[in-house]
Amino acid sequence: MLRVENLTVKYGGIAAVRDVSFEVEKGKIVALIGNNGAGKTSTLKTISGLVHPAGGHVFFEGNEITGMKPHEIAKMGLIHIPEGRHIFPNLTVKENLIMSSYSRTISKVEFLEEMNEVLKNFKVLKERENQLAGTLSGGEQQMLAIVRGMLQSPKLLMLDEPSMGLAPLVVEDVFNIIRSINKNGTTVLVVEQNAQVALSAADYGYVMEVGEIILQDDAKNLLSNSQVKKIYLGENDD
Ligand code: ATP
């Protein structure tokens, strides 16, 4: 569904992403893990058109999307939920969700019906739909960002660091939601520093370090890989 070929991203003269290639197969959850500054966010931003690559190509459902505008890419069904959630704190939950209707070609009535349908699975947000989004807890704000993404009709949902700043139990909730979204047919690419939780949810994983992909395998194999265990899971084989 998504193919990234030899992607290079530079800021000034410095390469943040170097010759990165990977794929996301339709129907799967793929995790891109790596430490702070590895180049994960730059990779996602380049896929969604927010950053222009210095080299390489991005294909979505077989069509080259390199260099296309972010709204054109979103319209194709490739939806990016950014790091830090980027919700509007001074708008209510409902108003935040209505913001995603602007990228849709359906009527307001149809959109509101769809919104109420999606909210059935997010009772906490439904109860808080008239509350200012900035007053929600971190976990609720992440849910809001996910629901807003879902209302843009994604074929592939890209989430940047959904666990950021959340307590472990809330992280579990968020990843359970990501799993159920995937079960309902949406392909997922998740970028995470939290290797344990991301690889536990994923089918396949890529490990990124200083701008390059250094490892790739089935997620369950990566969870038992000694290098991954040592660097990302804080475990030693011996
Ligand atoms: P994090 O999890 O902290 O977001 P990351 O793996 O997503 O890390 P990036 O945010 O892609 O990494 O950053 C990769 C490198 O590019 C870092 O060295 C960072 O300082 C640099 N970088 C990112 N954005 C810019 C920018 N707009 N201008 C200059 N350098 C940047």
pLDDT means per 10 residues, the chain with 238 residues, are 98 95 98 94 97 97 96 94 88 92 82 90 91 94 92 94 90 92 96 95 97 97 92 71
Pairing mode of beta strands 187-192, 156-160: parallel
Q: Which value, in Å, is the radius of gyration of the alpha carbons in the chain? A: 18
d(CA 24, ligand 1 centre) in Å: 22
Pocket of ligand 1 (CB under 6 A): 11, 16, 34, 36-42, 83, 161, 193
* Distance from Cα 84 to the centre of ligand 1, integer Å: 14
**Mutate-to-test residue for ligand 1 from 14, 42, 83, 209, highest number of ligand atoms within 8 A of CB:** 42
pTM (predicted TM-score): 0.92
In this structure, which residue's CA is closest to atom 9 in ligand 1? 39
The minimum-distance atom of ligand 1 relative to the CA of 11 is 29
CA of 231 to the centre of ligand 1 (A): 20
Question: Do 30 and 229 contact (CB within 8 A), yes or no?
Answer: no
Mutate to test the pocket of ligand 1, among 33, 41, 52, 210 (most ligand atoms within 8 A of CB): 41
Strand locations in 113-153, DSSP E?
A: none
Q: Which two tokens stand for residue 34?
A: 């790596």
The dotted CATH code for 2-231 is: 3.40.50.300
Question: Residue 108 carries which DSSP code?
Answer: H
CA 193 to ligand 1: nearest atom: 2
Atom of ligand 1 nearest to the CA of 191: 7
> How many Å lie between the centroid of ligand 1 and the Cα of residue 122?
32
Nearest Cα to Cα of residue 215 among 194, 237, 232: 232
pLDDT, residue 237, reads: 59
pLDDT of residue 102: 76
pLDDT of res. 105: 80
Distance between alpha carbon 159 and the CA centroid of its chain, in Å? Answer: 1
Residue 80 sits at φ, ψ, to 5 deg, of -110, 120
Residue 68 one-letter amino acid: M
Q: What are phi and psi of 189, to 5 degrees?
A: -120, 115
Give the number of the atom of ligand 1 that is nearest the alpha carbon of residue 34.
Answer: 6
Q: What distance in angstroms lies between residue 110's CA and the mean position of ligand 1's atoms?
A: 39
Q: What is the pLDDT of residue 233?
A: 78
CA–CA distances in Å: residue 82 to residues 74, 87, 161, 223, 237: 13, 10, 8, 25, 35
Please tell me the distance from the alpha carbon of residue 171 to that of residue 150, in angstroms, as a whole number.
Answer: 19
What is residue 64's three-state secondary structure? strand
Nearest Cα residue to atom 27 of ligand 1:
11
Q: Residue 82 C-alpha to ligand 1 middle, in angstroms?
A: 13
Angle between helices 138-150 and 168-183 in degrees, nearest 10: 10
